[in-house]
Amino acid sequence: MKGYEKYTPFGRITQLTDREWPDKLIEKAPIWCSVDLRDGNQALVDPMNLEEKIKMFRELVRVGFKEIEVGFPSASETEYEILRALIERGLIPDDVTIQVLVQAREHLIRKTFEAIEGAKNVIVHFYNSTSTLQRKVVFKKDMDAITDIAVNGAKLIRQLTDQMDTGSMNIRFEYSPESFSGTEPEFAVAICDAVAQAIGADKEHPIIFNLPSTVQLSTPNIFADQIEYFCKHISNREAVIVSVHPHNDRGTGVADAELALLAGADRIEGTLFGNGERTGNVDIVTLALNMFTQGIDPTLDFSDIKRTRAIYEECTRMKVHERTPYAGDLVFTAFSGSHQDAIKKGTDYMAETHSDKWEVPYLPISPADVGREYEPIIRINSQSGKGGAAFIMQQVFGYNMPKGMHPEFGYYVKKEADAKGKELTPEEIFSLFDRQYLHARSPYALGKHELYNTVAENEDESVTTFRGTVKCHNEEIAIEGSGNGPIDAFFDALKQLGIPNYKFVSYHEHAIGNGADAKACAYIELLTPEGANVYGVGVHSNINVASIKGIVSAVNRALQLSASL
């Protein structure tokens, strides 16, 4: 590929030799700030209207965001009106802080202060661009001139805050050295120190320094170095909340945010599903659920991810990609047979051991924890393993087939998927099971019958007798047999039909459903004289009848098999 020579490698821009972040772990959730209604919204083809913004705002509140950037009120009348509507309609809960963005420019700052009148908790977020490239090609200003813009903005904000009747208002401040990722680390610290001083930040009134990777320029380890450098060199660290605002140009927004936490960041700005300028902002859903799967309370509630996603898609008119972590349509679907088998083994293991830890391979999170069902976890196609269909039968329909039966049923499933040339739905899998086993009624169907026990004289032994009919091609044939139980007795009776001498191999049964509606399901395995193992399944409210139906199913299937050879 031609052209790469014109790009300059980013390299290490900090002199950080004693970096600590590689040895750290994420142990608690950061302060989250949603910028869906600002950064996310400004990147939409059709920005949200008032009602959509309100709907999205409500969802963000429901999910648990305590800081929400609601817009850029000085940028347009619409943005201004939306902010006023949120305040005047009393839509902002007392424990939620709204954040408003403004450039560090006098008239815009003044307009912003008009817009926030009457809000209870506000973060005034001001910014100017500080990177080497922007100073050179956009502003054509040196570091001092860029610092002046930020400091003058800070002074005006301090002054307007002091003038405002803040008795009922709690105003906090956030400054972003925009394009921080491309700013010399020493300059980023210096400009932020100057802003902190101008605004009068202290331990009781800390300022948020938001360090955006406005454009991602490096690998996440370099970004982590930049953050650790900032945290270690900023004056009066106690008076500062370090925030990051990763974009996703290199596809590493989540990595940037996670490493930034290791490097000392306290707060993360991002959006649902990573909406935002160009490749988007960091995806907070992924970040929060990544923490959840590490046993950390993310403090955000994505247990109804389908609802959050639906509101997001409705308001933004963007689509969540099928492979988006945790929320995409296909992320709980295993197409590979070996994955399906392992998932089934993991679920079985958890059930058998009553494990309260999540121990299922290939599923880093229980789909149920985000409000998604087990049913669509596995879709069955011609590549699926034998365990996949059995898993569906168990999870969706309650049929717990014995292990030995999996290959047999798996064979029919694969054949059907091949014939249809597509994956099978759980309903199609059940219908196949029904046809193959539950409705295997040809040539023989069980007719009226009775089973009774005769107790021998010594009372220690009893004999079970089967007496009844089987239908074969509209002919009703009476049969009778006895043995030491219903299965034995029915086998004895079958001899009168002159069918081959099938050997009984195994029997499994379990209940399906609960209470008065519960039924018994019996699985019978026979060995044919040709040496083939064949299964039959019977379901009935009476366990003895279920077993006999299971034998009839197995015999019919064995006869059909022999006929097809």
User: Which chain residues interact with Zn ion by CB under 5 A?
Assistant: 39
Q: Name the helix (H) or strand (E) containing 185.
A: helix 185-199
Residue 127 interacting partner from ligand KIV, Zn ion, none (CB closer than 5 to 8 Å by kind): ligand KIV
Asked if 106 and 149 touch (Cβ cutoff 8 Å), the reply is no
**Based on CB atoms, which residue is closest to ligand KIV, 59 or 178?**
178
178 binds, among Zn ion, ligand KIV, none (CB under 5 to 8 A by kind): ligand KIV
Task: Please provide the size of the chain in residues.
Answer: 565
CB of 125 to ligand KIV, least distance (A): 7
**C-alpha 36 chain-centroid distance:** 19
Q: Quick one: what does residue 395 bind among Zn ion, ligand KIV, none, with the CB cut-off 5 to 8 Å set by partner type?
A: none
Closest CA to 405 of 289, 519, 323, 521: 521
Residue whose token pair is 């509209």: 474
Nearer to ligand KIV by Cβ, of 260 and 377: the residue is 260
Residue 269 CB, nearest distance to ligand KIV (Å)?
A: 7
176 binds, among Zn ion, ligand KIV, none (CB under 5 to 8 A by kind): ligand KIV
Picked from Zn ion, ligand KIV, none, the partner binding residue 290 (CB below 5 to 8 A depending on kind) is none
Q: What minimum distance in Å lies between the beta carbon of 35 and ligand KIV?
A: 7
SS3 of 252-294: the string is CHHHHHHHHHHCCCCEEEEEHHHCCCCCCECEHHHHHHHHHCC
CB 241 within 8 A of CB 207: yes
d(CA 370, CA 328): 12
Closer by beta carbon to ligand KIV, 212 or else 550 = 212
- The listed partner (ligand KIV, Zn ion, none) that binds 546, CB under 5 to 8 Å by sort, is none
Q: Which is nearer to ligand KIV, 99 or 347 (CB)?
A: 99
* Beta carbon of residue 426, minimum distance to ligand KIV (angstroms, whole number): 44
Strand partners, 102: 126
Q: For ligand KIV, give the closer residue by CB, 42 or 338.
A: 42
What is the Cα 316 distance to its own chain's centre?
A: 20
How many angstroms separate the CA atoms of 10 and 218, rounded?
Answer: 6
Beta strands at 267-270 and 240-246: parallel, antiparallel or unpaired? parallel
Q: How far is the CB of 237 from Zn ion (least distance, A)?
A: 24
Q: Cβ closer to Zn ion: 125 or 339?
A: 125
> Residue type for 392, please?
I
- Asked whether the beta carbons of 479 and 514 are under 8 A apart, the reply is no
Q: How far is the CB of 513 from Zn ion (least distance, A)?
A: 54
Q: Contact at 8 Å (CB) between 118 and 86? A: no
Smallest CA-to-CA distance from 302 within 279, 335, 324 is with 324
Q: Which residue sits closest to Zn ion, CB atoms considered?
A: 39
Token couple for 24: 């750290």
79 binds, among Zn ion, ligand KIV, none (CB under 5 to 8 A by kind): none
8 A C-beta contact, residue 201 and residue 173: yes
Residue 53's binding partner, choosing from Zn ion, ligand KIV, none, with beta-carbon cut-off 5 to 8 A by kind? none
Give the dihedral sign, CA 231/234/235/239. negative
Comparing CB distances to Zn ion, the nearer of 282 and 470 is 282
Query: What's the min distance (Å) between Cβ of 103 and ligand KIV?
Result: 8
- State how far the Cα of 216 lies from the Cα of 181, in Å rounded to an integer: 7
Minimum CB separation of residue 311 from Zn ion in Å reads 22
Closest distance to ligand KIV from the beta carbon of 101 (Å): 6
Cβ distance to ligand KIV smaller for residue 101 or 524: 101
CB 164 within 8 A of CB 122: no
Nearest distance from C-beta of residue 136 to ligand KIV, angstroms: 18
Q: What value does the CA radius of gyration of the chain take, rounded to a whole number of Å? A: 34
C-beta of 212 vs 253, nearer to ligand KIV = 212
Q: Angle 386-397/337-353 helices, nearest 10 degrees?
A: 50
Closest by CA position to 508, among listed 387, 395, 406, 389: 406
**Least distance (Å) between residue 127 CB and ligand KIV:** 5
- Give the C-alpha separation, 465 to 488, whole Å: 9
**216 contact choice in Zn ion, ligand KIV, none (CB below 5 to 8 Å, kind-dependent):** none
Cα–Cα–Cα angle for 417, 407, 547, nearest 5°? 110
What's the min distance (Å) between Cβ of 277 and ligand KIV?
Answer: 7
The residues of the shown chain that bind ligand KIV, judged by CB under 6 A, are 39, 101, 127, 176, 178, 210, 212, 214, 245, 247
Q: Which strands, in side-by-side order, build the sheet including 462-472?
A: 444-455, 462-472, 475-483
Residue closer to ligand KIV, measured from CB, 75 or 451: 75
- Our CB check for ligand KIV shows the closer of 33 and 87 to be 33
Give whichever of 39 and 492 is closer to Zn ion, judged by the CB atom. 39
What is the DSSP pairing of strand 503-512 with strand 67-71?
A: unpaired
